[in-house]
Structure 1
């Protein structure tokens, strides 16, 4: 197992008391479509973690996370409104790695270095099992979506287009 995927599994166990089975794929799972193809599931069952930077207001510069269904596109205006900011934009990859502890393409929905306010796409709750990144662009883990929202301390709210 890749060392970062092993680190993710260890964090899940230590922080949340959850044993996750990490699935790794040679072809990579950087996009929701690639992950769904590798897993043989619907794109909608992929729980993509997108880190966004807020601007304006009291939360200027704050990073937040949105765990969205791979079938949906995140609406940055809705993110800004939800988190009471003037605007929102995709987070800077270097800053995400520095603050969150994971690189783009492998950012898991839980186990970050810093706690992030998190929104959770209600579309994911329509699946029995969803798959989130497990620390690398080629690793995922399976989880019940309601349990994932709970572990991520996420608010279930539709912030998609």
Structure 2
């Protein structure tokens, strides 16, 4: 366990600007995937916040999703009224956020983007998100995290079909 100083400098500056103090945990092994992060933290996979950048008609959009779910791009498209939605490539993610894939925090980005937060994040008292690099995470109450991200709560999780009997 470490202090906010363990966070990426861009994210640490965002925390300071918001006047928010969080406990940033640094791990020796990377936590690039939600499963790796959940194992390192010792929490449920669904308590990990994935910060994913999509391109909606060429414009970057941040989607916050729980670690055990997948984003339904068709639902994102409908939510945004866009014609096309797809995953942004690594260069667009870094250019938009200032961070590499696997370490993107839910707020504190280089540029302001539209943020969609899946309602499933609200199922938990505490969620864990990246603090700017693949070795760091921090805990926060979901409503607070979504508010700091400027997110709209929406339903964009992929719905799995129940097997027919």
Do both share a fold (TM > 0.5)? yes
TM-score (norm 2): 0.89
Q: What SS does structure 2 have at the residue aligned with 1:19?
A: coil
RMSD, matched Cα? 1.5
Counterpart of 2:142 in structure 1 is 145
**Alignment deviations for residues 58-107 of structure 1 (CA, whole Å, 9 cap, x no partner):** xxx10000000001100111111111111111001112211221111111
Structure 1 runs (4+) greater than 3 angstroms displaced? 1-4
Counterpart of 1:36 in structure 2 is 38
Counterpart of 2:11 in structure 1 is 8
The change in CA–CA distance for 1:43 and 1:3 in structure 2 (over 3 A counts) is: closer
Pair 1:53-2:50 in alignment: no
Counterpart of 1:154 in structure 2 is 151
Q: How many angstroms does 1:3 deviate by?
A: 7.0
Pair 1:135-2:137 in alignment: no
Pair 1:116-2:113 in alignment: yes
Q: What SS does structure 2 have at the residue aligned with 1:18?
A: coil
Q: What SS does structure 1 have at the residue aligned with 2:8?
A: helix
Counterpart of 1:58 in structure 2 is none
Q: What SS does structure 2 have at the residue aligned with 1:47?
A: strand
- The 1-side partners of 2:7 and 2:138 are apart by 13
* 8 Å Cα contact 2:10/2:109 also seen in 1: no
Counterpart of 1:101 in structure 2 is 98
Q: What SS does structure 1 have at the residue aligned with 2:146?
A: helix
Q: What SS does structure 2 have at the residue aligned with 1:125?
A: helix
- The 2-side partners of 1:132 and 1:71 are apart by 13
**Alignment deviations for residues 94-150 of structure 1 (CA, whole Å, 9 cap, x no partner):** 122112211111110000011110011111111111001110011111101010111
TM-score (norm 1): 0.91
Structure 1 unmatched ranges of 5 or more: 56-60
- The 1-side partners of 2:118 and 2:71 are apart by 9
| Structure with bigger gyration radius | 2
